[in-house]
Structure 1
Amino acid sequence: MKLVKSLLLGSAAGLTVVAGAQAADLPVKKAVPVEYVRICSAYGAGFFYIPGTDTCLRVGGRARFEAGYVQSFSRSTGNGDLTNFRGLGRLNLDARTQTAYGTLRAFVRFELASRTGNYLTSGTQQRIANAFPALGVDTFGRAQQYVNVDKAFVQFAGLTAGRASSFFDFYAHDFEIIAGTLGSDVASTNLIAYTAQFGNGFSATLSLEDPIFRKTPLFGNAATNANLASQFNIFTGNFNVSPVIGTDAAGNPVGLAFTDVVQRSRMPDFVGALRYDAAWGSAQISAAVHEINTGNASFAINGFNASVAAPVVRAAGTTFAPRPQSEYGWAVQGGLKVNMPFIAAGDALYLQGAYGEGAQLYTGYSAQAGSYSASGAAAAIQGAGFNQFFSDAVLDPVTGRLDLSTSWTATASYLHYWTPTWRSAVFGSYGEMSFGGASRANLAAVNFNGLSPNPVTTAFSQTIRDTYQFVAGASLIWSPVKDLDIGVEGFYTQVGLKNGRAVDQNKSPGQAVAAIVNGVPVNAAGVAVATTSTTDTFHVRMRVQRDF
């Protein structure tokens, strides 16, 4: 029996040794290495290393719903909408890599939105190619898709290049939902800039910026429409001409030439900013230079106005003013932000003021009323009594020179936290826009574009009148959890003529004052014409927004 057990155990041991030897001869397969996403803590929360690289990436975005109510005084043309809606989506990509020269950063932000209603359907964004409209009878001007590469820039060793916010801007409606105050707010422009850090919070920036995003059309024939992008000329382009008086050899006026005043992009805007940042807040002084130019005379006619007098035959030796020389608009701005944790954590106050000549989009006078148009319904008021005019310059038909407009704005905004989850902002602004009196009078002398040689008619015309604008508003926002805002905001706007009155285009559309009878302005038929000097409106909007 013992012999049998010994044989069996010996056989098993032998088989085990043979099997082990054969297994050792087989190739060994290594497990595929798994690359886990690693947290990158060098640049704050939310960053992770892109697998296989030393680049940190943060993916973020926003979802937003808005609904609003806006006053309307008329149901004519595109007016009459009271409600408006918007759904917006945003995607952010922020990539950073540490190098021997400091951080190399690339940031990209895309925004897509569906807008409806008279107010949220933005003519400003449509004119600047950030949106495209519906073309239906009931939907044109009331439905719009907004598509924007809001940011796409590279930052490296003080250099910023790409699509980014203008370095001229400071407050840029930081505490507002509707962005109703006056002031520069160009969130998306193409630029290349260098920022030097001096230490102790001081920095200076020199930026070359795309002039397209700062052009307000010069005053001319086509550009005085409230909305250049009508249903018919979206695909045919826009034109803009302004008259210049021609003279004979003796210097006598004998006719008109119409000059092409569509501006060309000939040189970038030059922007400089000096900034200081500290624990108590920040301050900035910025300045900009902006070229204003025209084209050649596009065509000439004899006489001044064939409907008033017989055309004058152009005599030999008649000359017209050459293409106006380029002028250079400029603007300066000062801004101050003061943190006020001694009142409540998160409280802050902004103060900002700007002044410019021939640089209306730098002072931001048209920020809420509608930009990239020479004129528009006063402060986006549906059925307003008169239009505001925003042109950077008027071509004087007598001198043949560009007469620069002037504008200035001042804004204050205060944010207060009632509790960590409830906050409010109160804000207000005031601004003025002025044009040269001589150029307006000279345009009236040639009976151009609604102005008339009749001094009474000219006095009551809305065309290129000096205006002011006042805005005041407040908001209440609840943030029950981090990165979720549920809020409502309302504001009041008043727009007025700085002097005199104008024909009320809501009550007496298309009428002109021909005379004053017993103190009452009347038209050519002797019928009383309604006039006005101010108009106002209020807007209310609510928002639900989640950032991530």
Structure 2
Amino acid sequence: MNLAKSLLLGTAALISAASLAHAADLPVAKAAPVDYVRVCDWTGAGFFYIPGTDTCISIGAQVRIEGVFISNSRTLTPVPVGTSNILGRTIVPARDRDESGFLARVRLGVDTRTQTAYGTLRAFIQYQIDRVQGTYAEGGLSGGASTITNSGGNNAALRRGFIQFAGITAGRVQSFFDFYADNYNYEGIANSDIAQNVFAYTYQVGGGLSATFSIEDRNARNLTTQGLGYINAGANAVTTGARYGGETIPDLVGVLRYDQAWGSAQLSAAYHEIQAESGPFAGTSGQGFSGTDTDGFAVQGGVRLKLPMLAAGDDLWVEGAYQNGAYLYQDSAYYMNQGFNSALLGGFQHVDRDAIAIHNVGSAAGTFTLQKGEGFSVMAAFNHYFTPNFHDVIFGSYEQTSYGRAGRIDWTQGGLGFGEQYKIGNQFLWDPAKNLEFGLEFDYVKLNQTLAHNVNQAATALPTGISKDPDAFEARLRVERDF
């Protein structure tokens, strides 16, 4: 029995050894190497290589919650294009306007960068989603009825989307004309701050000096849907007013910028074509349309001074702009009564224009000449850190516009007089943790204007209760988290 067991064990051992020897001759499949995520060491914090590529990527987001209160007053809406008297205006009582509102905003961004023989190739996308209610949606115009506007709405759009390569920038970016661009303030002040679709080239001269030429979408700088005011004067006045024609020449922007350790300085210039047309109407050899063109332009200068001698992070911005026929280069709010997120001011609305079309008295229907608007704006903002986690920003702006002979035709016929506006505000900002900020902003705005009137005649009186020189107070609370 013991002999039999020994034979069986010996046989099993021989078979096992033979099997192992044979297996040693077979090919062995090796596990695929793991391609771990690697941090990019040439792009700055937050970037890592997309596995299997030489492209670095960064993914980020921002969440913003905001509430606002604005002391509105009774307002008088503007004359619709083509109307010629006060009957075209509507009085909106203050109680029919929302004075408070809420905003919830999310921004999602992806930034990719690749090293090439021509420098860094960059592609950037940022998508913005808003939920707005109350005064953010300019609601409350229907006496409290549950309209879509009054109930709030969703907005979703591409905020930024561009490619940069070898000095070329193509896509949707901040206009190259802009400098301060409402860098600190929540409510807009008088300065240029517009996102644009562009084709641009930047040449690095050296020593911190750069020069940019940018071709930008003109339509983003046209004022309102119609874009132009219209004055009916004479029996043959058209009934459809005047408006911007289709875009032919985009806006042309040139910039010189100088960046140093002490801060930055920038000079900007822009050309803005005004193509105006009116119609349809009978006459003009049966064509039913007529038009005329003119040229607008704007210039701007700004400087940012870093002030570390006061506190780390302190800086001062100063900027000024002049425009002739190109209002949105002076102030990116569409007229002096309006802010970016609210109606802002009540009273008589100073509806600024790039130009006002004035019908040629005694001429055929639809013929007109253009009176361009002219104006300037200046602004300043000072940011000071009392502690690394608490800072304060004070800011303000002044602007004015005038319209030449359009100010010598009564406002009930579409004339527009001189206007000036003051804005001042202050922010209290607390950063209790990295990339988390609580902000409280207070703003005051005052508009002074003249009512356009016919020569040697007094201006037509405003309706009872409508202020010619309105003002308003605003308070805004914001919580923002970036990651």
TM-score by length of 2: 0.84
Equivalent pair of 2:382/2:395 in contact (CA under 8 Å): yes
Letter of the structure 1 residue corresponding to residue 212 of structure 2: T
Within 2, Cα distance between the matches of 1:540 and 1:47?
38
Asked if 2 retains the 8 angstrom alpha-carbon contact of 1:219 and 1:393, the reply is no
- Measured against aligned partners, the alpha-carbon deviations of 1:168-214 in whole angstroms (never above 9, x if no partner) come to 000011111x233110000x211000000011000000000001100
Matched, 1:292 2:274: yes
Deviation at 1:318, TM superposition (A): 11
Alignment of 1:156-171 (within 5 A): 156-171=165-180
Identical-residue share of aligned pairs (%): 38
Distance 1:366 1:13, change over 3 A: closer
2:337–2:350 contact (8 Å) kept in structure 1 = no
Distance 2:264 2:451 in 1: 41
TM-score computed with the length of structure 1 as normaliser: 0.74
Deviation at 1:370, TM superposition (A): 6.8
The corresponding residue for 1:510 is: none
Residue among 481, 484, 491 paired with 2:436: 484
Greater RCO, 1 or 2 (C-alpha within 8 Å, sep 6+): 2
Write the mapping of 1:125-274 to structure 2, written as runs, cut at 5 A: 137-142=145-150, 143-176=152-185, 178-186=186-194, 188-217=195-224, 243=232, 255-258=236-239, 260-274=242-256
Gaps of 5+ in 2: 75-91, 362-367
Matched length: 452
- Deviation at residue 140 of structure 1 after TM alignment: 3.5
CA distance, structure 1, for counterparts of residue 400 and residue 351 of structure 2: 11
DSSP-derived class of the 1:173 partner: coil
| 2:382 is the alignment partner of 1:414 | yes
Report the residue type matching 1:289 in the other structure: Y
- Residue aligning to 2:481: 546
Are 2:73 and 2:347, in contact at CA under 8 Å, matched by a contact in 1? no
Distance, in Å, in 2 between the alignment partners of 1:493 and 1:213 is 25
Aligned equivalents of 2:370, 2:451: Cα separation in 1: 25
What code does the residue aligned with 1:392 have? Answer: D
Query: Residues of 1 paired with 2:4 and 2:181: CA distance?
Result: 97
Residue 385 of structure 1 is aligned with which of 347, 353, 364? 347
Which string of whole-angstrom CA distances, capped at 9 and with x for unpartnered residues, describes residues 378-405 of structure 1? Answer: x9345x2211121110112127221100
Alpha-carbon RMSD across the aligned residues, in angstroms, is: 3.6
- Offset at 1:532? 4.5
Deviation readout 1:134-161 (Å, 9 max, x if unpaired): 9x94234331212120111000000000
1:23 Cα offset (Å): 1.9
**SS at 2:245 equivalent:** coil
Tell me the amino acid that sits aligned with residue 342 of structure 1: M
Partner of 1:237: none
User: Are the equivalent residues in 2 in contact too, given 1:244–1:257 (CA < 8 A)?
Assistant: no
1:15-52 per-position Cα deviation (integer Å, ceiling 9, x unaligned): 44312123224442322332211111211011011111
Q: Secondary structure at the match of 1:361?
A: helix
Helix, strand or coil: the match of 2:102? strand
Of 459, 471, 475, which residue of structure 2 is paired with 1:536?
471
Deviation at 1:321, TM superposition (A): 12
- Partner AA of 1:380 in structure 2: A
1:277 maps onto 2:259 in alignment: yes
**Mapped partners of 1:532, 1:13: distance in 2:** 108
In the TM superposition, 1:383-462 aligns within 5 A as 384-398=346-360, 400-436=368-404, 438-441=405-408, 444=410, 450-451=412-413
Report what 2:88 is aligned to.
none
Which residue identity lines up with residue 339 of structure 1 in the other structure?
A: K
Partners of 1:24 and 1:193 lie apart in 2 by 65
Kindly state the Cα deviation for residue 464 of structure 1 after the two structures are TM-superposed: 1.4
User: Distance between the aligned counterparts of 1:9 and 1:322, measured in 2?
Assistant: 109
Provide the C-alpha distance between the structure 1 equivalents of 2:474 and 2:34, rounded to a whole number of angstroms: 56
Structure 2 partner of 1:67: 67
- How many Å separate the matches in 2 of 1:71 and 1:141? 19
Q: What is the DSSP-based 3-state SS (H/G/I as helix, E as strand, rest coil) of the residue aligned with 2:412?
A: coil
Q: Report matched runs for 1:72-87 at 5 Å.
A: 72-74=72-74, 76=93, 79-87=96-104
Following superposition, the deviation at residue 94 of structure 1 comes to 0.3
**270-279 or 73-82: which moved more?**
73-82
Contact kept? 1:365, 1:407, Cα under 8 Å: no
Say if 1:5 and 1:407 are closer, same or farther in 2 by CA, change over 3 A: same
> How has the CA–CA distance of structure 1 residues 98 and 155 changed in structure 2, closer, same or farther, with 3 Å as cutoff?
same
Relative to 1, partners in 2 of residues 1:429 and 1:195: Cα closer, same or farther, differing over 3 Å?
A: same
- Could you say what secondary structure the match of 1:30 adopts? coil
Equivalent pair of 2:243/2:276 in contact (CA under 8 Å): yes
Matches within 5 A, 1:54-133: 54-74=54-74, 76=93, 79-118=96-135, 120-121=136-137
Deviations 1:526-547 (A, max 9, x none): xx95674421101111111100
Higher mean alpha-carbon deviation, 257-266 vs 317-326, is at: 317-326
Cα distance between partner residues in 2 of 1:332 and 1:216: 18
Cα distance in 2 for residues equivalent to 1:8 and 1:545 = 79
Letter of the structure 2 residue corresponding to residue 261 of structure 1: R
1:75-132 deviation per Cα after TM superposition (whole angstroms, max 9, x unaligned): 73884322210111010100000000100000000000101112x1269xxxxxxxxx
- Greater shift in the superposed pair: 18-27 or 412-421: 18-27
Unmatched 5+ residue regions in structure 1?
124-132, 225-240, 246-253, 302-316, 452-461, 503-513
Supply the distance in 1 between the matched residues of 2:375 and 2:458 (Cα, whole angstroms): 32
Name the SS of the counterpart of 1:20 in structure 2: helix
Q: Distance in 1 between matches of 2:10 and 2:25?
A: 23
In 1, Cα distance between the equivalents of 2:232 and 2:335?
Answer: 30
Q: Which residue of 2 aligns with 1:310?
A: none
In the TM superposition, what are the counterparts of 1:362-373 in structure 2 within 5 Å?
A: 362-364=329-331, 366=333, 369=336
- Aligned-partner Cα distance in 1 for 2:226–2:124: 38
Residue in 2 that maps onto 1:473? 425
**Aligned partners of 2:161 and 2:43: how far apart in 1?**
19
